[in-house]
Amino acid sequence: MDELGRMDAQQFKQEKKISIAIILDNIRSMMNVGSVFRTADAFRVEKILLCGITACPPNKEIHKTALGATESVDWQYYPTTEEAVSELMQKDYKVYALEQTTNSHSLHQFQPESDSKYALVFGNEVKGVQDQVLSLCHGSIEIPQFGTKHSFNISVTAGITLWDFFTKMGEFENLKA
């Protein structure tokens, strides 16, 4: 880590974060949860909200893919995703679900505002984001796909989406790598 010039978890907690919260809506796979923690660390995401059946740290299955990111990224558990969404909306977050819907925005055309706070909801590996959660969101965003499958793994979706937001919000230039 020294050779790469990376900070430790304590330094990370003091650094500027991008104004994005991740909401995990009933994620079944602990390895997916760990992967999202690791990606959130890479992009200095503000926090992760773990909802419903989503497992929480400390957990050895989460640790396998998080590789310590559960120590650097702030997180909180909510019994329901609706509670997490409502709380963030009260704090002026714009909440978008990553989901294929009839009204979803294509990620490549969606332009986040650099001065806004966002919460991104990632859904269950089989059922997606719950309908009652979708109805609370400001909208939904879809990643265009051109193969035979209709969805990405949730950890891949998080990586693609966070990179897109990170670059479009100008954070690549704002934060030191």
Q: What is the pLDDT of residue 71?
A: 96
Residues in the chain: 177
Predicted confidence at residue 20, as pLDDT, reads 98
List of the chain residues with pLDDT < 70: 1-4, 175-177
Enter the pTM of the model.
0.94
CATH number for region 9-174: 3.40.1280.10
- Domain-by-domain residue ranges, the chain? 9-174
Q: What is the pLDDT of residue 140?
A: 98
Report the distance separating Cα 18 and Cα 73, nearest Å.
12
Separation of alpha carbons 38 and 8, rounded Å: 14
Q: Which helix (H) or strand (E) holds 11?
A: helix 9-14
* Count of other CB atoms within 10 angstroms of residue 75: 19
Predicted local distance difference test score (pLDDT) of residue 3: 62
